[in-house]
Amino acid sequence: MALDDRKSDFKFVGTRPDRPDGLDKVTGRAKFGADAYAPGMLHGAILRSPHAHARIISIDTSRAEAHKDVKAVVTRVDFSDKVEFKPGLEGEFWNVLENVMAGEKALYDGHAVAAIAATSALAARDALKLIEVEYEVLPHVTDVDKAMEPDAPVIREGAADYSVPEGMHPNVVRYHESGHGDVEAGFAEADLVIEDSFVTEATHQGYIEPHACLATLGNDGKGELWCTTQGHWIAQKTCAALLGIETSQLRVTASEIGGGFGGKTTVFIEPVALALSRKANRPVKIVMNRSEVFRATGPTASASMDVKIGMKKDGTITAAQGVFRLQGGAFPGAPGDMTAMCAFAPYNLTNVRQVGYDVMSNRPKQAAYRAPGAPMGAFAVESVLDELCNKLGLDPVDVRLKNAAHEGTKASYGPRYERIGLVETLEAAKAHPHYSAPLKPGQGRGISCGFWFNHGGETSVSLALSEDGSAQLMVGTPDIGGSRASMALMAAEVLGIPYENIRVTVADTATLGYNDVSHGSRVTYASGLATIKAARSAVEKLCERAAAKWGIPADAVKWENGHAVPSGPNAGDFDPMPLADITADMGSTGGPISGHFEATPEGAGVSFGTHIVDAEVDPETGKTSVTRYTVIQDAGKAIHPDYVEGQYQGGAAQGIGWALNEEYVYGDNGRLQNSIFLDYRIPVASDLPMIDTVIVEVPNPGHPFGVRGVGETGIVPPLAAIANAVSKAAGVRMRQLPMSPPRILAALKEDG
């Protein structure tokens, strides 16, 4: 048989059929996290610290336990005592345990300290009031710069890993430094050097579905868990460790997911529900309310950054340097390293140096949020670039083109790029009618580039053919962006059977091998690659069966448009044999036919984008309207263009929120002030313009069809692009996010 490894002509890939899960989702038939029920089920509720930082002196649960509707109460002692504390991210299981149930100290407003399972959700909620916790309130810190000062309260001694230089505050837990060349020499060559400082606030992913789960765990150490998650194997592994049971004895099923954006790549309530279930010996369901989601899940990090860039009069960047301080809550994990590595990645630089800090404070443990760390760095770097262009009278797209990274460029973070599509996105931006459209008075235009690594990760896929010639495909990556449609398209392309004849299922942890989380923009790349290879392995078997029927060697048969055909005139003269003719009697010709593939693919292929934004600022109130928005991004190959465009638009929409109004607001008491959607201001539909998209396709050499992940790059440029547009419209440089009306009006006043 002959199979082309590379493919550029497609029959199914690139079309836009309805998504397989569409009807379920628009009719309410789809089952999300909170939609599971079990006989005898109890309802769990979690008691949370009202203090930002407090020692837990005692917890008295006796009155709650005596309540007639309460069946179990758990605190930290009900979890495994074998989970080891280690510095930095090495002890991540311990960090997660400490986060889902406080130990000696409550570390942030909203930190879980105890939980109850009762016969109704209302009874559980009311019974929480019967738990008496005695706290010794400690000094707290929620600001990243203050958390690094010598007199800042220490969140946890010994949390810093080997990377942190001596003499730093114990709240600095990881340190990253990289780059190449000689930045001082580079600055000396520049005609203009600009150095500036920038601040961003923490934001939440704002997924519409709160965390929810249904857990069963018996005293035999066997359990079942249903939960809304981006990755049920990581949930399985983590919960098993935290409960002290064997991983394989816990079967985890991922529900449909109402948004994740990185925030559902870890566990919060799942281990607690399992602990309650083990104690009550009944199934326990926990559903977070929105306030709990804001206070006690994983928002992104806040950042404080200094960036210095030198440029020649012709726009050549001579040197670039950045210091990025990220606060990620009361645990290691703030992506200061990612911010540093991504900040200058779009550019071909001779001299570059970047430093990143991971800093702890009394806030919830940060989680991933689309391209974690990258948007903040891009905000700082692309703002300085914009200012350099303004001062030197240069076109911002031309300057970026002049310095753009390309195939062979040594990236700011080390490796040399393979084939990449940054230049193509910039050229598309320059040619786009948006870039040359006239602006009205009071409006400004901004542009920015953005970069994300993309990721491969452990991947396992199985495909089974049915006797009628249809196919079922089992993947292990929860569908957060239309991936069932993309997988079905890729399988259809290989098998040559209609898209509609393929049913894609997100398999549970008991029915497929380990799969990494749906994160890192990896699903269409990695599960897609595995789907293609699983389908090819099934095709190989189909060809063997046809060869046997024809009585010719297997390698004399090839697969074309869903049929086995002789590979050439010498192979024999046989009519093409359709797939369904082979599967119809497969039971008697050698048994069921399936295909399987598992690997940790390494060729994810980095992705770049360029955004163009027009903004209008009301000079009397400081209110910003985004009047036009265009996203241009390299997708490598768009499998289902609707969902590629959806990712582009979604990144822009979330970026608009982050840039303009979203922020975690902490009071002097360290309590979160805006833990509901009324005051945590994500954009509403009428806040957004139509977001135009341009899909650039520079194929990724690491994927059979050329796919590059698209889920994350789209949120990298918006903060900077919008800040550049607003700064032009307002006539004053905005260095702090969000650019809320009070901040803009104050900046205008200060500017006189």
Residues that bind other proteins (CB under 8 A): 125, 289, 291, 620-623, 660-661, 665, 673-674, 676, 678-679, 681, 683-684, 686-687, 740-742, 745-746, 749
Shortest CB 619 distance to other proteins, Å: 10
Toward other proteins, which CB reaches closer, 25 or 749? 749
Q: Supply the DSSP symbol for 77.
A: G
Please report how close the Cβ of residue 624 comes to other proteins at its closest, in angstroms.
9
Minimum CB separation from other proteins for residue 315, in Å? 36
Nearer to other proteins, 576 or 689 (CB): 689
Smallest gap from residue 288 Cβ to other proteins (A)? 13
Smallest distance from the beta carbon of 734 to other proteins, in angstroms?
15
**Structure-block tokens of residue 631:** 């996203």
Q: How far is the CB of 622 from other proteins (least distance, A)?
A: 8
485 versus 739: smaller Cβ distance to other proteins:
739
Nearer to other proteins, 18 or 679 (CB): 679
Provide, rounded to whole angstroms, the least separation between the CB of residue 745 and other proteins: 6
Nearest approach in angstroms of CB 667 to other proteins is 9
CA neighbor of 483 nearest in space, from 500, 506, 453, 452: 506
- The 10 Å Cβ neighbour count of residue 39 is 6
Task: Return the half-sphere exposure (C-beta side, CA atoms, 13 A cut-off) of residue 3.
Answer: 16
Phi, psi of 121 (to 5 degrees): -65, -40
Residue 378: left (phi > 0), alpha (psi -120 to 50), or beta?
alpha
223-227 and 250-254 strand pairing: parallel
Residue found by looking up tokens 């074309």 in the block:
560
At 279, list the tokens: 């104690």
Which among 169, 173, 172 has a CA at the least distance from the CA of 150?
169
Contacts of 207 (CB under 8 A, 6+ apart): 258, 259, 260, 261, 263, 264
CB of 18: closest distance to other proteins in angstroms? 28
Tell me how far apart the alpha carbons of residues 212 and 269 are, in angstroms, rounded to a whole number.
Answer: 7
CB of residue 749 to other proteins, shortest distance in Å: 8
Place of tokens 């030198």: 310
Nearer to other proteins among residue 382 and residue 616 (C-beta):
616
Residues paired with 252 in a beta bridge = 225
Give CA separation, 137 vs 365, 551, 742, in Å: 20, 82, 33
474 close to 463: Cβ distance less than 8 angstroms: yes
Q: Which is nearer to other proteins, 55 or 749 (CB)?
A: 749
- If the CB atoms of residues 127 and 323 are measured against other proteins, the closer one turns out to be 127
Comparison of 294 and 453: residue with beta carbon closer to other proteins: 294
Q: How far is the CB of 124 from other proteins (least distance, A)?
A: 13
| Residue nearer to other proteins on the CB measure, 392 or 748 | 748
Token pair, residue 405, equals 């990274």
Tell me the closest approach of the beta carbon of residue 673 to other proteins, in angstroms. 5
From the CB of 332, what's the least distance to other proteins, in Å? Answer: 29
**Sheet strands (E) in 123-171:** 132-137
- State yes or no: cis peptide before 396, omega within 30 of 0: no
In eight-state DSSP terms, residue 498 is -
Output 348 or 740, the one with its CB closest to other proteins: 740
CB-wise, 110 or 709, nearer to other proteins?
110
Q: Which phi and psi (to 5°) does residue 16 adopt?
A: -130, 60
DSSP secondary structure string for all residues of 566-620: ESSGGG-----EEHHHHHHTHHHHTS--EEEEEE-------EEEEEEEEEEE-TT
77-114: buried (b, 16+ CB within 10 Å) or exposed (e) per residue? ebbeeebeebbbeebbbbbbbbbbbbbebbbbbbbbbb
Residue among 220 and 620 whose Cβ is closer to other proteins: 620
Is the CB of 114 or the CB of 389 nearer to other proteins? 114
Rounded Cα gap, residues 383 and 377, in angstroms? 10
Taking the C-alpha atoms of residue 370 and residue 301, their distance in angstroms, rounded to an integer, is 12
